[in-house]
Amino acid sequence: MSTASLSAKPPTAPAGASRRGKRCRRRRQRAGPPSPRPARAAAKPKSVVACECGAWSLHVGPLADPLGPEARQHRFRCRSWRCESCRWARNQDDARLVRAIIARNGPESLLFTVLTFDPSAYDGDASTAWLELSPAFKRLCKRLRRRFGSVQHISTVEQHASGWPHLNVLFFSHGMRARWETSATGLRDDLRHHAVQAGFGYIVESIEPPRELDGIAGYMVKTADRSTRGGIANEVAKLSQLPVNAPFRFRRLRISRGLSRPERAPKKSTGHLLRMPLERAEAKWQDWRSRQRRRARRHAGGVTEGHDARQAPVHEPFASSAQVEQLATDPGLPKGSLGSAARGPDAPPAKGPRAVDPSSSGAEQRVGPSAGAGAEPRSCQKKG
C-alpha cells in the first residue's frame, strides 16, 4: 500500500450539514409521530352517479345474435348498495345468496357473532378504523384457523350511529362449534382474546348458533323485510346502518372462498355498455337498423318500395360462378377475359398491364386504353 493512500483523509461532509440534520431531527421530534394516512373521502363511483341520473344505458341481445331484431336497449342499473334506487334490490340479492350458501354448506357448524372496535385504541379516529378493518379481520381468521382448524365465514360491514364500523359474522367451523357445545363461555373468551390481539375491541357479543336460519340472512344484509322481525336479537333491520362512511372501493359483503356457492344459470344473452342516455341509444339503434335494411335490399338487387331511388342499380354478373371457375381452369384462356366476364358488360374497361420495351434498357412503357388507338406507347426514360 502506498504512503499516499495512508495519508489520504476520508471525505468529510460540507460545513453546516450536520447542523441542518440536527435541526431536522429536532423539528420531527417536536412535531411528534406522523399522523396516519387519512381514508379517502366517501365518494360515489361513476356507475352509481350514472345510474341515479340515467346517463348510461345497456344494449342487450340474444347470445346467438346480439345485433339481431330481438336486441333491446335498457336503462343501466348499477345494483350497488350505495345507490338509493338499487339498494333494496341489491340487499334482496345478497340475502338470497346467503340463504343458498347456508343451505349448501349446512347449519351444523354455524355460529353468529358481532365484532366491534375500541375507539380508545385508535385515538377516537374512525377513519383509521375503516382502513384497519380488512387487515384486522384477516389476522383474526388466521388466529382462529390455528386454534380451531378450518374456519370459513360470511361477514357484512355496518356502521354504528357514531360512525364506527362493526361486523356481523357467520362462522362455518366444526372446531368452534364443538368448543361451543363444550363451553360457550370458554369459546367467547377465546374469541375475545384473539379479537383484541388482531385489532378489534374488547367488547365481543355472545357467539352462538342463529335461532332462525331464514331470518339470519335478512338480518345480516338489512333487507328490512318480515323475515328479520323477531330474529336472533328481536330487532327490526334498518337501512340506516349502511357503511356510508366507508372508503372508496369498499366491499360490504365478504364470503370465504372455501364455501360452496350455488351454480349460476347458463348465459342466454349478452350485451355491452353504452355511455349515453336511453333515448339517444334507442335513436341510434333505430338509425343503424334502418341503414342495415337499406343495405340488405340494395345487395338483394333492384329498387324496392321505400328504397332510395338515387342509388345506382346493382348489375347482375355477366357469368355465373360455375362459368367463372371453368374459365379459370381453361389453359387457352386469353389474358383479361376472366376479369371482363366476372365484371359484366357494363363495367368500365380495366387499365392495361405494364410492358417493358426490350430495345431500351431501363425504359418502362404503359400500354392501355388511356393511350388511344394510334398513339405511340409513352416511355419513362430513367435519368442516369
- Which of 73, 72, 82 has its CA nearest to residue 47? 82
When pLDDT is cut at 50, 70 and 90, the band that residue 299 belongs to is: confident
DSSP single-letter state for residue 62: E
264-296 per-position pLDDT tens digit: 888 889 989 999 999 999 999 999 999 988 988
- Which of 72, 244, 237, 223 has its CA nearest to residue 157? 244
Q: According to the model, what pLDDT value does residue 379 have? A: 46
128-163 per-position pLDDT tens digit: 889 899 999 999 999 999 999 999 999 999 888 888
Model confidence at 71: pLDDT above 50: yes
Model confidence at 307: pLDDT above 60: no
Query: Order of strands, edge to edge, in the sheet holding 72-75?
Result: 72-75, 57-62, 269-274
CA distance 32 to 122: 16
Strand runs (DSSP E) across 173-330, as ranges? 253-255, 269-274
Backbone angles phi, psi at 269, to 5 degrees: -140, 165
At 20, the amino acid letter reads R
Number of Cβ atoms within 10 Å of the Cβ of 160? 13
Q: According to the model, what pLDDT value does residue 223 have? A: 55
Instruction: Work out the average pLDDT over 299-309.
Output: 56
3-class state of residue 211 by DSSP? coil
CA distance 91 to 80: 9
3-class state of residue 168 by DSSP? strand
Q: For all residues of the chain together, what is the average pLDDT? A: 74
CA distance 173 to 195: 17
Asked whether 148 and 175 are in contact (CB, 8 A), the reply is: yes
